[in-house]
Every structure is written in C-alpha cells, then in structure tokens.
Amino acid sequence: MATGFLRPTQRVVDCQALYHNVAEEIKLLPQGTELFAVVKANGYGHGAVKVAEIAKKAGATGFCVSILDEALELREAGFTEPILVLGVVEPCYLTVAVEHNIAVTAASLSWLQYASQLLQEDRIGQLTIHLKIDTGMGRLGLRTAEEISEVVRFLSDHSEFELEGVFTHFAKADSKDTDYFKKQNNRFAQALALLPNDIRYVHTANSATALWHEQNNCNLIRFGAAMYGLNPSGRELAAPFDLKQAMTLETEVVHIKQLPANESISYGATYTTTQEEWIATLPIGYADGLTRDFQGFTVLVGDKLVPIVGRVCMDQCMVRLNGPVPLGEKVIIFGNQDDQANDFQVGAEYIGTINYEIPCMLSERVPLVYVNEQLTAEE
C-alpha cells in the first residue's frame, strides 16, 4: 500500500510522551522487575521500531510481539534484547526463531511434541520458550494440573527446549471488580507450584495489571496500551500517573462550500442541511481507518468541535463548520488541543469500542510523523 506523504493527513507521534509513559511505570516497579515493551501490531499503529527504540531508552529491557514476523522486524532493525512472541508460532518456522534468538509461546503439550520432532530433525540448537497458563482467559495455554505436570515431565526429557519463562493473561485486570482477577491469580499461583523454581521470567502483568495490581512472585511486566498513553480501563479506573496519549491523527481542510437548505451530503443522502451551512471536505476516510461508524463524531477545526456530516467515504469525509475557514486549516480527528479533548477514548466511546483499537485500525496509507525526539528524563 502506498503511504500518503503528499497529502496533509498524518499520524503524529509524540516521542516524549512514549518515553514519559514507560519511565513513569518503571518508577513504580519493585526492584528486580523488568519491563518488556509490547510493540505488536506495528506498535499499536505507532511504528514498532521507533517505539522500541524509545522504550529501550526509557528503560525497557525486552519486547513482546504477536507474530514471528514482528520479532524479525526488530532483529533486522538491530535490537539484540530478548523478544517474546505471544501468539502461536507454527513449528515449521521454529528454525527461524532459534536462528534469531527469539523466544516463543508454548501453549500445549501437542505443540511441544510436534516442535520437538522438527527441532531434533533439524538439529539447530535450543528453542527458548515461555509456557502459557490459561487461568481464565480461555484463549491459549495449559489449564489443568495434569496438563502442566505432563509438560514438566516432557521438558525434563527434551533438552532441545530452554524454559525461560512462564506467564498468564488476565481478562479483567482493568475492572473495579477484582473477584475474577483474584480467581485467575490464585490459579496461576497453583500452576507455579508445579513448575521449576528457577525459571528466569515469571509474568502476569499486562498494562492493566501493572497499573492497578501487585504482581506476586513475578519479575516482568508486559507494558502495552499504557505505553501509548491509553488507559486500558477507559474511564473506570484512574491511572497512578498521568498517561500521555502519544498519537494525534490530524488533517486539513481541502475544500469548503456554503450550501443552501435542503441539500444532501454523501452516499445515501443520510444528512440534509436545514439552513445555509458551511461544509468542509477532509482528505481522510474509511480506507485510512476512519470507519463509517464515525458519522456524527465531532472533530477539532481550529478550536471548535464540529460534526462529521453524511457518511464517511473511502477517502474523504465532510464536516459542518460554524463559519468559513481558510483552505489548509488544521483539523484534529483524535487528539488534544489547548483545553479541548478529542482523544482516542472519546472516539472509542462514540463507536462502542476500546481506545487502543482505534490507532490499531489506522491504515498504512496514513504516514507516521515523529515529533519531540529529543528525549529528556522528568524529575
């Protein structure tokens, strides 16, 4: 896909905000606890390599990704730190993981048996693994004591694996109701009792867990959404420090017209003017990640919030202005300006999703621009 450098729509990423969010979290960590920056999905749309670079400067000691290709991108960019692939890697690709010193998730005995067969055939050395325990997410991992014990016995007989880590994932760590969190935490403690006690990394904490819960017997956190300044609970829980949203999605007015009453706008004629109205066209649409659900959503034109009128088109959308503005007037789709907040949380509430889905949806067609690259530690 071509990136639209020759139009005014862009994702502006504040590097200092990213640095701030990581550094502030590290201040809260117990001594000996490490932070791995989660840079999957192209750094939640912020650019994985750049985010990893900033997170490392702020104190991150490793990285988490979702697929093996994302890990290779970091290795090719020169990162030598530990990298964990959180998703399942097909055993036929494990040679690549071993060659590039990438840790992968082991979520079942059957996967380990298949992987063992291929590793022994290829004779390429040890594969670094983190065992995944399913304590109640219902997605990946070992569930029962029998499964875990069987895996422990299997690994003791198979030197082609290096058991570097064990982890789980909490489903409701971002909620005021902690009952389910406690249930999962207890299950993980029971699982740990069945495992060797010399495992290097024990980790349960995603951003929500890291922000609001103690991580007993753990020495690593996986810092994702909060690194980008996005509160994983939405508005339910206040973060222990000021999370700074790192990305602003912005564009400019490229066309403006005054329409009389009873004129319709965009596909399906779902909006009709009720009086003389100033309508501006913006060069951003659903192919850029601004989905049709955002019809009616308000964006910042100058210092005024104005609504998107009519259906969002593939490449453009229209807004109703309070009065004429010059061509080239800046428009903030998601972000803050002065005292006006129009951030991803506002957008998420409008379409009924979570704040970090929106930057992940933004298309590669929208270029990434980095600002405030001179990083400074805050007192």
Cα(319)–Cα(310) distance, integer angstroms = 8
Q: Is 354 helix (H, G, I), strand (E, B) or coil?
A: coil
Q: What is the pLDDT of residue 145?
A: 97
Task: Enumerate the known binding-site residues for substrate.
Answer: 139, 314
Q: What is the distance between the alpha carbons of residues 74 and 49, in angstroms, rounded to a whole number?
A: 6
Q: Could you tell me the two tokens for 264? A: 């319709």
Q: For residues 229 and 9, what is the distance between their CA atoms, to the nearest angstrom?
A: 21
Positions in the chain short of pLDDT 50: none
What pLDDT shows up at residue 302?
87
Closest by CA to 335, choosing from 228, 231, 243, 248, is: 248
Q: Report pLDDT for 377.
A: 81
Q: According to the model, what pLDDT value does residue 266 have?
A: 98
Three-state SS at 68: helix
Q: What is the pLDDT of residues 45-62, one digit of tens each?
A: 999 999 999 999 999 999
For residue 324, count other CB atoms closer than 10 A to its CB: 12
Chain segment 58-80, per-residue pLDDT in tens: 999 999 999 999 999 999 999 99
For helices 15-28 and 48-58, the axis angle rounded to 10 degrees is: 40
What are 65's strand-pairing partners? Answer: 85
- Give the type of residue at 98: V
Residue 156 CB: number of other CB atoms within 10 A? 11
pLDDT score, position 379: 58
- Between CA 227 and CA 150 the distance in angstroms is 37
Both tokens assigned to 199: 């495992």
Catalytic residues: 40, 267
Q: Which CATH number fits domain 247-371: 3.30.930.10, 2.40.37.10, 3.30.70.20, 3.90.550.10?
A: 2.40.37.10
Predicted local confidence at residue 259, as pLDDT? 98
- The amino acid at 17: A
| Distance, CA of 147 to CA of 106 (rounded, Å) | 12
Give me the architecture of the 32-228 domain, per CATH.
Alpha-Beta Barrel (3.20)
Dist CA 147 CA 112 (whole Å)? 12
Domain ranges in the chain are 32-228, 247-371
Which segments of 285-340 does DSSP mark as H helices, in order?
none
Q: What is the pTM of this model?
A: 0.95
Amino acid at 137: M
The residues, ordered by sequence, that sit 6+ positions from 105 with a Cβ below 8 Å of its Cβ are 84, 85, 86, 87, 88, 89, 129, 130, 132, 140
